[in-house]
Structure 1
Amino acid sequence: MAATQSGAMPLSEEEARRQLRRAVIASTIGTTIEWYDFFLYSTVTGLVFAKLFFPESDPLVGTLQAFLIYAVGFVARPVGAAIFGHYGDRIGRKATLIVTLLLMGLATFAVGFVPTYASIGIWGAIALTALRFIQGVGVGGEWGGSVLMSMEWARTNKHRGFVASWPQFGVPAGLFVANLVVLATSQISGSAFLTWGWRVPFFLSIALVGIGLYIRLSILETPVFAKLLAERRIEKAPMREVLRRQPKDILLSALARMAEQAPFYIFTAFIFTYGVMSLGVTRDLLLTAVLAASVLEFFTIPLFGHVSDLIGRRRMYVIGAAAVGLFGFLYFFMVGTHNPGWIFAAIVLSLVPHAMMYGPQAALIAESFTGRLRYSGASMGYQLASVIAGGPAPLIATALYAYFHSGFAVAWYVFACAVISVAAAMRLGDYTNKDISREYDDVHALHDHGHAT
């Protein structure tokens, strides 16, 4: 059936296809820009922030302090999910996504202007913390809207996993661009990079925001939200309502992400500290390896999103969670050899089990929530994981290594995250190939929410 817009004639098949393409491109480019901003901060944290903003601390303590500021961005994500989830379900996906892009981009641009400890003392770290919080709020609202913008324009139920995986593509794309820019600017002599070179990537973000804004202004609202608007089924307080109606799905979504998010930030952020300080490898080797891993995910994320359409969202996700739990031990064995080739291979391969989860994850989580509460529920479930998984992961990994002096202690942490995720994912509903345009609690719905299999 052709898509419709509220108060308008149904769109032709050709126009619906065009809108789907625009929505996917807008979501993917938008998330690429947002994640460029976010990963840029994480990459620079491990390389220079400890030296510039905590110069009087022991190197390991300074790193922990820098990662504490890094973690603030994750704590802020559920705040962004609550704020923008509310507006995404109240005023629409498109308008909300424009605001999140501006918030994230301007905060990142401002990081480039923050004076260091040598100029204003501890106030530099305080300013970084505030801007990192704003970044986190923007990202907290971004993911849900991007996924829904693509997924709710999907023309059939059979390709939703593949379509929803494209905003996920923004993660490796953003990671790639961030590391590429840092790699390029780090070719500046050491003192110059520490003095001003690290600021250049943050300044560049303002140009990317302009591109993303132009693209997002050209898309229509999704058919699912337009239908809700036409039927006057908009909730007054969607976040409160989803917490009342679907609290289990929010919690399970967060726990299911433990195996995806915590290992990801260990493999791509903690490795910069661990590799340079403990393994003695060069910054450029680590940056190049993360770049190569990002390129591999360009292909594996949509691939596993597609596979989830064939074998089921939940099954694909559980396979990925089990894989990462086992791979953690192989990863730290490989990097523990101190051989640059093995270290490079370990980093590149680490994002394969990640893609096995990240490809189907968008649809798995978003499909778990009924349409009028979907932005709020999916955003909160997804972003709560930032507090329990992504944010603490580099801190926990650094602390475990400092205490045990072994990478295998970190591998056991990865394994524990995988066990939790497998258990949680097995209890999530699977809506692969089912109709999500109907409200799950509508007595006339074809598939009642409680009977998803």
Structure 2
Amino acid sequence: MVLGDNGITHKVEPDSKSGRVQVRRAALASAIGTTIEWYDFFLYNTAAALVFPHLFFPASSAYAGAMQSFATYAVGFAARPVGAAIFGHWGDRIGRKTTLIVTLLLMGVSSGVVGLLPGTSAIGFAAPLILVLLRLVQGIAIGGEWSGSVLLAMEWGDQKKRGLLGSFAQIGVPVGLVLGTGGMTLLSATLSPEAFDSWGWRLPFLASLILVAIGLVIRLKILETPMFAKLVEKGETAKTPVLDAIRQHWREILLSSGVRFSEQMPFYLFTSYVLIYVVARHEFSKTFVLNAVLVGAALELLMIPLFSQLSDRYGRKKVYLTGVVLTGLIAFPYFAILTSGGHALVFVIVVVSFIPHALQYGPQAALIGESFPTHLRYGGAGLGYQLASVFAGGPAPLLATWLLHQTGTPYSISGYIVLSAIVSVFCVIWLKDRSNADIDDASVYRRARA
């Protein structure tokens, strides 16, 4: 059963010919939608490291400018749980498809406006203020995007391949990183520093409007997922899904957030903070560091589906814990090489840092999504996923900048990474592995909690 745009339930089984077409469309829509969302997000990350300090905070010192720029970066993460709550409510009330169209429009339009925003020298204090407001909109949109994209693929396809299907949304991260950071790299390499700082950095932001149009066409062709359509047909959708998820599944929400610490916090250090650290410590160019990040992202594009398939075969927790442990083990060698290594070693360690992330990020969508019943899954999974943004991802570059300034040693940042891995180890152990559970039956979860 699936829900059509006219509100009428149609019988389309996932294993029928029309169902298989919908499965492919859902996977494509999931991947392309999150690609666009993360393309916009990583554009901001790269600009926050390379352009925004002197464009929006020109009166500050290099350290203060970096702190202020990364503070606006953190604002977007703080807004993510708000977006998860807002869109989680509607995603579990009216459906996955409609909600995802709104999140896509919000993200794309706000990014396009960033590309048109004048600097502080032109409009004064209003420039950084508008930048923060746009960052809030981005954070709210991406807060509602992830769980919907994951569920669109997971709830349509073969339930024995939920790890692989859920990973289509995760693939959007390295693809978005390649497109967003790649666009910045190309412009940084081909334009003069003056031209890039003046107008070149704006072009990728404006190009996001074209990508949004493509994403909308694809998402408009998708029918609602069979699992949610059954709830609508039976009249079993929750009236207050987010509140119900918090009351009934607060443990799963907190544990889902905790499992992300070792994935999210190091990732934003490895893709954003590294740009400032390496360029400041060495005479390496911005383009060199960006190229290393791009190669790592391209490698992760291949690793995410591979590790997701392994989680379907061996269980989510085994694959995920492997990634958590490797993240802790790489923390000190990573900064040792960034600090003292030559071009070749720095390039290699930046690329290698993506491997433990892929081990976690691939099966993560299914691991979190499976922890909630269908009628509360959009809001519950979204809150669990995005809550980590407040404590792990958002503050990471800001805290790394502060730790290095206060301690004078990058190994304080390594200790920060190890701490995040310890948190995740315990949360993964305590979170139930439902790799083979029937996630279409809410009674399974009720019995498990009884």
Q: TM-score, normalised by structure 2?
A: 0.97
Which of 304, 312, 315 is 2:307 aligned to?
A: 304
The answer to whether the 8 Å contact 1:45/1:66 transfers is: yes
Work out the number of aligned pairs and report it: 444
Per-residue Cα deviation, 1:216-239 (whole angstroms, up to 9, x for no partner): 000110000001111110011100
Q: 1:450 is matched with which residue?
A: 449
Say if 2:143 and 2:382, in contact at 8 Å, map to a contact too.
Answer: yes
How far the C-alpha of 1:409 sits from its partner, in A, is 1.2
Specify the alignment match of 1:181 in structure 2.
183
Structure-1 residue corresponding to 2:19 = 16
Give 1:123's match in structure 2, choosing from 104, 123, 126: 126
Q: Secondary structure at the match of 2:201?
A: helix
Supply the distance in 2 between the matched residues of 1:440 and 1:421 (Cα, whole angstroms).
Answer: 28
Structure 1 stretch 190-199 or stretch 361-370: which is displaced more?
190-199
Aligned CA distance change for structure 1 residues 116 and 313 (closer, same or farther; 3 Å): same
Cα deviation for residue 123 of structure 1 reads 1.3
Q: Secondary structure at the match of 2:398?
A: helix
Query: What is the aligned counterpart of 2:135 among 129, 132, 136?
Result: 132
Deviation at 1:318, TM superposition (A): 1.3
* Residue of structure 2 in register with 1:378 after alignment: 381
- Residue matched to 1:193: 196
SS at match of 1:437: coil
Q: 2:57 aligns with which of 25, 41, 54?
A: 54
Contact 2:278 2:339 in 1 (8 A): no
Give the superposition deviation at 1:7.
3.0
Amino acid of the structure 2 residue aligned with 1:7? T
Q: What is the letter of the counterpart of residue 172 of structure 2?
A: G
8 Å contact kept, 1:300–1:352: yes
Q: CA deviation at 1:277?
A: 1.5
Which residue in the other structure is 2:288 paired with?
285
Report the counterpart of residue 399 of structure 1 in structure 2: 402
Superposition deviation, residue 122 in structure 1: 1.8
Q: Find the partner of 1:103 among 103, 106, 116.
A: 106
Whether the 8 Å CA contact 1:279–1:338 is kept in 2: the answer is no
Measured in 2, the distance between the counterparts of 1:432 and 1:172 equals: 24
Q: 1: CA distance between counterparts of 2:341 and 2:430? A: 40
Report the AA paired with residue 179 of structure 2. V
The sequence identity of aligned pairs, in percent, is: 47
Contact 1:332 1:407 in 2 (8 A): yes
Measure the CA separation in 1 of the matches of 2:245 and 2:258.
Answer: 17
Residue 324 of structure 1: how far off its partner (Å): 0.4
| TM-score (structure 1 length as normaliser) | 0.96
What is the one-letter code of the residue matched to 2:285? T
Residue 32 of structure 1 is matched in structure 2 by: 35
Matches within 5 A, 1:202-221: 202-221=205-224
Q: Secondary structure at the residue paired with 2:440?
A: coil
How far apart, in 1, do the equivalents of 2:375 and 2:245 lie? 9
User: Could you tell me how far apart the structure 1 residues matched to 2:259 and 2:335 are?
Assistant: 23
Q: 2:429 — aligned with what?
A: 426
SS at match of 1:138: helix
Where does residue 162 of structure 1 map in the other structure? Answer: 164
Contact between 1:160 and 1:433, CA under 8 Å: does it hold in 2?
no
Q: Which residue of 1 aligns with 2:117?
A: 114
Gaps of 5+ in 2: none
Determine helix, strand or coil for the equivalent of 1:291: helix
Residue 151 of structure 1 pairs with residue 154 of structure 2:
yes
Corresponding residue SS for 1:236: coil
Deviations 1:270-295 (A, max 9, x none): 00111112233210011101110110
- Secondary structure in 2 matching 1:50: helix
Give yes or no for contact 2:35–2:171 (8 Å, CA) kept in 1.
yes
Contact 1:104 1:139 in 2 (8 A): yes
- CA offsets, 1:166-192, max 9 Å, x none? 110000000000011101111210111
Spell out structure 1 runs of 4+ moving beyond 2 A: 3-12, 440-443, 448-451
Range with bigger deviation, 275-284 or 357-366? 275-284
SS at match of 1:336: helix
Amino acid across the alignment from 1:173: V
Q: Give deviations 1:229-259, integer Å, cap 9, x for gaps.
A: 1111001110011010000110111111000
Bigger shift: residues 362-371 or 279-288? 279-288
Unaligned segments of structure 1, at least 5 residues:
none
